[in-house]
Amino acid sequence: MNNYKCTVCGYTYRPERGDKLRDIDPNTAFEDLPEDWKCPTCNQPKMAFEEMK
């Protein structure tokens, strides 16, 4: 599972950590996040993220 970075604020979604603020369990792939999930830092939608390689 790859990390994804918000292109607005630089927040990195790390699947191994999940997102505690929005009840996303650890080991949840970015692709499996709900469509309405938003950046926990700047509230941008998933489309503002790019895959980190």
Residue positions forming the annotated binding site for Fe cation: 6, 9, 39, 42
φ/ψ of residue 15, rounded to 5: -55, -35
What residues form the annotated binding site? 6, 9, 39, 42
Distant-in-sequence, close-in-space partners of 42: CB < 8 Å, separation ≥ 6: 6, 8, 9, 11
Q: Dmax of the chain from CA atoms? A: 26
